[in-house]
């Protein structure tokens, strides 16, 4: 598994855990990094911090384009995986769009429901098409 793929998975773990426990994901990531018990790659921290910094806009985009699937109905893994995917698509110029989508789909295949890869692929692909008009911050 490539280093960035591992970092994405670790970021997903942190976002998922923070959501389940009602914690701030950035604080949780910092605590994990400080404890040294579990490795937290820099790219994982970048993703968690970026998702959190743009969370309102990311969630707005997901709500707008996930026709019939409000955020609270999505599996938590999918919701947080999509947040990472949207962050990489819209705000990470060093990540090719196709890679952001492919990585999210791959993690959905590994970690979520049978329907999740198609859902993640469809939603992120749609946002990729609309990307030029999505960046507002």
Averaged pLDDT for residues 16-22: 96
Non-local (6+) Cβ contacts of 35 within 8 A are none
- Cα–Cα dist 105/56, whole Å: 22
pLDDT for the residue 69: 85
pLDDT in tens, 24-64: 999 999 999 999 888 899 999 999 999 999 999 999 999 99
Structure tokens at 95: 């990540």
- Could you give the CA distance from residue 46 to residue 114 in angstroms, rounded to a whole number? 29
pLDDT at 137 over 80: no
| Phi, psi values for residue 115, rounded to 5° | -85, -15
What's the pLDDT at 1? 66
Tens of pLDDT, residue by residue over 77-128, are 999 999 999 999 999 999 999 999 999 999 999 999 999 999 999 999 999 9
CA 123, chain centre distance (Å): 13
Q: What is the pLDDT of residues 64-82, one digit of tens each?
A: 999 888 999 999 999 999 9
């Amino acid at each position: 598994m490539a280093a960035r793929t591992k970092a994405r998975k670790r970021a997903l773990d942190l976002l998922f855990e923070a959501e389940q426990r009602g914690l701030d994901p950035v604080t949780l990531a910092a605590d994990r990094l400080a404890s040294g018990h579990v490795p937290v790659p820099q790219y994982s921290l970048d993703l968690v911090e970026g998702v959190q910094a743009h969370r309102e806009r990311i969630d707005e985009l997901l709500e707008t384009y996930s026709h019939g699937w409000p955020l609270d109905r999505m599996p938590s893994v999918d919701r947080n995986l999509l947040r990472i995917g949207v962050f990489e698509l819209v705000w990470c110029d060093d990540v090719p769009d196709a890679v952001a989508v492919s990585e999210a789909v791959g993690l959905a295949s590994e970690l979520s429901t049978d329907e999740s890869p198609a859902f993640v692929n469809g939603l992120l692909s749609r946002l990729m098409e609309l990307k030029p008009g999505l960046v507002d911050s």
